[in-house]
Structure 1
Amino acid sequence: MPGAEAAERPVVEVSEAQAGTGGSVTVSGSGWRARTLLMILVCGRSVPSRGVVGGTNSCANADGRAVTTDAEGRFERRLPVAEPPVPCPCVVHVATVTGPKAQADVVFQVAGHPVEPLPPESGGGRLAVLTDTRLDGSSGLLTWFGAPPARTLVFTVGNVGTTAVRDPVFQVGTSHGVFAPQWEERQWRGTIRPGRRARVELPVELAAGAHGDYSVSLKYGGKVMAEQPWAVGRPWGVTLFWVLLCLVVPAALFRAGMAVVDRVRPHGGARRRGPLLSVPALHLSPPRRPAPPPEPARPALPWFTPDAGPGALSAPHDDDPATRKGST
């Protein structure tokens, strides 16, 4: 089927074969999958027959452009010309961002950029992934609180070449969403003889607090050999920590403020009052009762003396001068 053949071999074209830095060219393509996100880059140290030697580290990533194909698998996009970080020969490199991998290169010359011969190809030893890759490991308690998520990329490779491969260096890349992978070199210690296979384990680690859908890619000899999705859970422990912090800190500040207020304000005794707010004290005394009227004075009898009791009454004696005088 023509459509199937076109889908297997995507095509890329540029409006000009050479341009200087600061200019731009029109990049068009056909034969791609419909509604697919592509990344367009200017890459150095590359030829279409060998691809991009060194991966995207040889490309001007900051000046790349993204484009989505239409329903027929076609696209057209304006691309600024920028110098790649390595010498030419250069290409315009187009590759899919998500889904099954597909890529295509077209020769392009950056005017004024240095040109150097490509490094020689490696010997007869060639590695190929024989089994599906997988990520071993799990997240621990520290990862729940924002520690870097870590896994082990496990796969089996076989030497399909004619010479032994000693201490091969792989590239492990991690990407999030539509962003390009960030590649890191991982060396495996050992020798793989022709026709033999080996089980390889490489560590993979993300940044602290990373979460979401990630993709782990394996590259060897400038070619992507395998990809593995990685769903990283959200570090809910960090969220719980901030929630508790927002509750505990205001409560502690409130208690400290109340303690200060309780220590500063006066306790007991007369409280100080401002001159405008003082109110004179009202001294209320109980009502006075009227004094009782004085009793009338009684005449004193001659034979009653105050010192004598009521019964101390005596008759006059003969030797009393008054009696004696009256008798005479």
Structure 2
Amino acid sequence: MSGRVRIPVLVAVLALLLLPLAGAATAADGPSVELSDSQAGTGGSVTVSGSGWRPHTLLMMLICGQATPSRGVIGGTNSCANGDGRAVTTDAKGGFGKKLPVAEPPVPCPCVVHVATVTGAKADADAVLQVAGHAVEPLPAEPSGGRLSILTDTRLEGAGGLLTWFGAPPSRTLVLTVGNVGSSTVKNPVFQVGTSHGVFAPQWEEQQWRGTLGPGKKARIRLPVELAAGAHGDYTVSLEYGGKVLAEQPWGVGRPWGVTLFWILVCLVVPAAVFRVGMAVVDRVRPRGAGGVRHAGPRFFLRLPRGRAPAQTPSTISTLPWFTPDSDPGTATTKGPT
């Protein structure tokens, strides 16, 4: 009897011991998404719940066409109903639950509910959804050629110079190591390099890497990235190949303070120059005074108080050098009548 009691006890203990391991295995599998209904029509809604995400992370939920959980969204966000998406923030345990209105994507199904992180490390998950009444077409054949994969973390090399400080276009070099995980050789692959500012969509530019990658080979790739003149703020550099985003790298661009300094100097120098020119014009058109001299404006004099002039004595009377004392007109005396 005691042996029969011990068996259920041992089973319960083993279950308690294996429960944390099962939870850890689920967390290691990455984020997951579940839907309240696998099929819904336009105008309805489904409840999207998830687990295994980073705590307090902002997510975006979209209904996308031409997608499966195994291949992802083939056309990127261009295949999704972006106008009817919803944002949600995970709780402290990395879970969430929110209703999502059902809308027809711009491309045919098969469709999924695509959930991806908005900020921070990139993570996403998909759940199959049948949009009732929406067209369904088979997915394009998956290319049987070589497939490239990122082997190491990407980074941006380079620094801004003096010209960038004065508004020149900031430029960096996107450096990464890719490997060919396909079954055929990849020759001169064409990458899509995109730059986005804040929450705006990236602007893509094609860049071709000259080289050949055989199956199982890897190569170091360097792709130039340049922004518009005067750009500043937080940017994100994305790399896409074969319709799939391979890497994203943040890029903080400083403000071109040289341009600000230039405009401050302009605001100081131009008014001073205009003032000098105006004063020269005023001085030229000013009316002339007597003798052809221009009036220099009002003048101020210091007038001293008048005092009595000292009396002159005969000894102090000066005589001109060409007169003798006898013949000096100033000392001549008038004789009376005789």
What TM-score results when the alignment is normalised by the length of structure 2? 0.68
2:70 equivalent to 1:19: no
1:200 maps to 2:200: no
Partner of 2:72: 51
Is 1:159 the counterpart of 2:180? The answer is yes
Which of 24, 46, 63 lines up with 1:4 in the alignment? Answer: 24
1:89-141 superposed Cα distances (whole Å, 9 cap, x missing partner) = 22221111233322111223445544332111111522222333232333233
- State the aligned residue count: 272
Determine the structure 2 residue equivalent to 1:221.
242
Aligned counterpart in structure 1 of residue 261 of structure 2, from 213, 232, 240:
240
Q: Tell me the SS of whatever aligns to 2:269.
A: helix
Q: Distance in 2 between matches of 1:210 and 1:107?
A: 41
SS at match of 1:157: strand
Distance 1:190 1:176 in 2: 31
Q: Does 1:70 align with 2:91?
A: yes
Q: How far apart are the structure 2 equivalents of 1:83 and 1:172?
A: 29
Aligned residue in 1 for 2:62:
41
* Residues 41 and 133 in structure 2, CA contact (< 8 A), matched pair in contact too: no
- The alpha-carbon distance between structure 1 residues 172 and 29, as it changes in their structure 2 partners (threshold 3 A), is same
Give 1:267 deviation, angstroms.
4.1
1:103 has 2:91 as partner: no
The one-letter amino acid of 1:86's match is V
* Matches for 1:125-164 after TM superposition, within 5 Å: 125-164=146-185
RMSD over aligned CA atoms reads: 3.1
Report % sequence identity: 76
The structure where helix makes up a greater share of residues is 2
Partner of 2:49: 28
* Letter aligned with residue 76 of structure 1: G
Separation in structure 2 between the aligned mates of residue 64 and residue 207 of structure 1, nearest angstrom: 30
C-alpha distance 4-211 of structure 1, shift in aligned 2 (>3 A): farther
Structure 2 CA distance for partners of 1:249 and 1:23, relative to 1, 3 Å: farther
Q: Structure 2: any 5+ residue segments left out of the alignment?
A: 1-20, 291-335
Question: Given the superposition, is the C-alpha separation of residues 199 and 31 from structure 1 closer, same or farther in structure 2, using an over 3 Å criterion?
Answer: closer
Counterpart of 1:67, as a letter, is: V
The unaligned stretches of length 5 or more in structure 1 are 270-308, 312-328
Q: Residue 310 of structure 1: CA displacement?
A: 6.2
Contact 2:169 2:226 survives alignment (8 Å): yes
Q: Distance in 2 between matches of 1:104 and 1:247?
A: 57
Q: Is the 8 A contact 1:98 1:178 kept in 2?
A: no
TM-score (norm 1): 0.70
User: Based on CA coordinates, which of the two structures has the bigger radius of gyration?
Assistant: 1
Aligned residues of 1:174 and 1:216 also touching (Cα < 8 A)? yes
1:169 has 2:190 as partner:
yes
Amino acid at match of 1:245: V
- Return the alpha-carbon distance in structure 2 between the equivalents of residues 45 and 64 of structure 1: 17
